[in-house]
Amino acid sequence: MSGITNPDATRIWDEAEVYVIPRNAVTDITELLPATIDDELDARWEFVGLLDGSAGIPVNPEIEITHFDAYGQARYRSKAKKGAIGTAFTALEKNSVTKKFVLPGSTAGKIGAPKGMYYFTCYVLRDEDVATEIWVSTRPALFELGSFSKVEGEPESYEITVHHSNDSSGDVFHVIDQDSAATELAITTTSLPAGVVGTPYSQTLTATGGIGAKTWTKTGTLPAGLTLSTDGVLSGTPTAAGTPSITFRVTDSAAPTANTATKAITVTVTA
């Protein structure tokens, strides 16, 4: 039986984009992941700009291998440890983003000595001008600037070696591609602060996972004066006290069958 080839499964990269965000600007990197390959990136990602296409984005797996020999039997076992992945990119622009990791000084107008700088990194890779893969680092990575020259008639470039750290599961990147399954839709709001009769009230319900836009509905009667919008905003000015348990439902835009999630939450209004 012969194997079946699939040329469409190959990758011939035509374009790549690099985005970064400082580690101190991120609380939970999963909040910055696009739900699908076609979604826009969160506005907090900073675009590095033009890249050296000939340098590409090298991916360097690293692992420490130890071989064990015995009398009369060479290499009877081998063990691997300290697996890691390093990447790199070569920026061609000296812009507001690259200035942050290309020898930044203590103040504007100064060049500083190299120092440890940590960024979450996002690679957007395109084949036939179509975004095919997005890689987002699971943890902030150490940026190392290589040497560069100021040569007449030659473009100045900044080679950045990205030293990634593994997360607790040994993973280095979140990957979003055409085959990525959406994460499970779930309501993350667990409780709501109490409202007070006669005082304007507004709280937004939150959910993670799913695909595309989300629509909110409810089962149960809210305290008088409060309403729930389809965007998940519970608002209004309560006119009566109460503590009803409301079942909130969120529905995503998956096709042909949308995903739903529900959660019962007590909505309290005091006099």
Residue with tokens 């055409």: 178
Same domain, 167 and 203: no
**pLDDT, position 183:** 66
- Continuous H helices in 65-188: none
Q: Of 102, 88, 101, give the one whose Cα is nearest residue 156.
A: 102
**How much is the average pLDDT of 91-96?**
96
Band of pLDDT at residue 253, cut at 50, 70 and 90: confident
| Number of domains, the chain | 2
User: Is-contact 122 146, C-beta < 8 A?
Assistant: no
Picking from 156, 177, 198, the residue at the C-terminal end of a domain is 177
For residues 195 and 237, what is the distance between their CA atoms, to the nearest angstrom? Answer: 9
Picking from 129, 151, 177, the residue at the C-terminal end of a domain is 177
Same domain, 143 and 214: no
Same domain, 141 and 24: yes
| DSSP secondary structure, 217-248, as one string | EEESPPPTTEEE-TTSEEEE---S-B--EEEE
Same domain, 129 and 78: yes
Same domain, 140 and 40: yes
**pLDDT, position 184:** 78
**pLDDT, position 170:** 92
Domain assignment present for residue 57? The answer is yes
Q: Which amino acid is located at 25 in the chain?
A: A
Does residue 257 have a pLDDT over 60? yes
Domain span at 39: 11-177
CATH number at residue 238: 2.60.40.10
**pLDDT, position 255:** 63
For residues 65 and 94, what is the distance between their CA atoms, to the nearest angstrom? Answer: 40
Band of pLDDT at residue 245, cut at 50, 70 and 90: very high
Top pLDDT among 3 and 151 is at 151
Q: Is the peptide bond before 256 cis (omega within 30 degrees of 0)?
A: yes
Picking from 148, 177, 206, the residue at the C-terminal end of a domain is 177
For strand 269-270 and strand 195-196, is the pairing parallel, antiparallel, or unpaired?
A: parallel
CATH number at residue 105: 2.30.110
**How much is the average pLDDT of 77-90?**
96
**How much is the average pLDDT of 165-189?**
84
For residue 103, what is the DSSP state?
S
> Could you tell me the two tokens for 44?
């907090």
pTM score, two decimals? 0.67
Band of pLDDT at residue 141, cut at 50, 70 and 90: very high
Residues, the chain: 271
In the chain, the N- to C-terminal Cα span, in Å, equals: 77
For residues 196 and 14, what is the distance between their CA atoms, to the nearest angstrom? Answer: 58
**pLDDT, position 185:** 87
For residue 26, what is the DSSP state?
-
Q: Which amino acid is located at 269 in the chain?
A: V
**pLDDT, position 30:** 86
For residues 213 and 263, what is the distance between their CA atoms, to the nearest angstrom? Answer: 19
For residue 147, what is the DSSP state?
-
pLDDT digits (tens, 9 = 90+) for 193-219: 999 999 999 999 999 887 778 999 999
Same domain, 84 and 199: no
Domain assignment present for residue 3? The answer is no
Does residue 37 have a pLDDT over 90? no
Does residue 115 have a pLDDT over 90? yes
**pLDDT, position 207:** 93
**C-alpha 27: how far from chain center:** 11
Domain assignment present for residue 2? The answer is no
Residue with tokens 């399954």: 181
Does residue 181 have a pLDDT over 60? no
**pLDDT, position 49:** 97
**How much is the average pLDDT of 98-104?**
96
Band of pLDDT at residue 182, cut at 50, 70 and 90: low
Domain assignment present for residue 137? The answer is yes
**How much is the average pLDDT of 75-93?**
96
Percent with pLDDT over 90 in the chain: 79
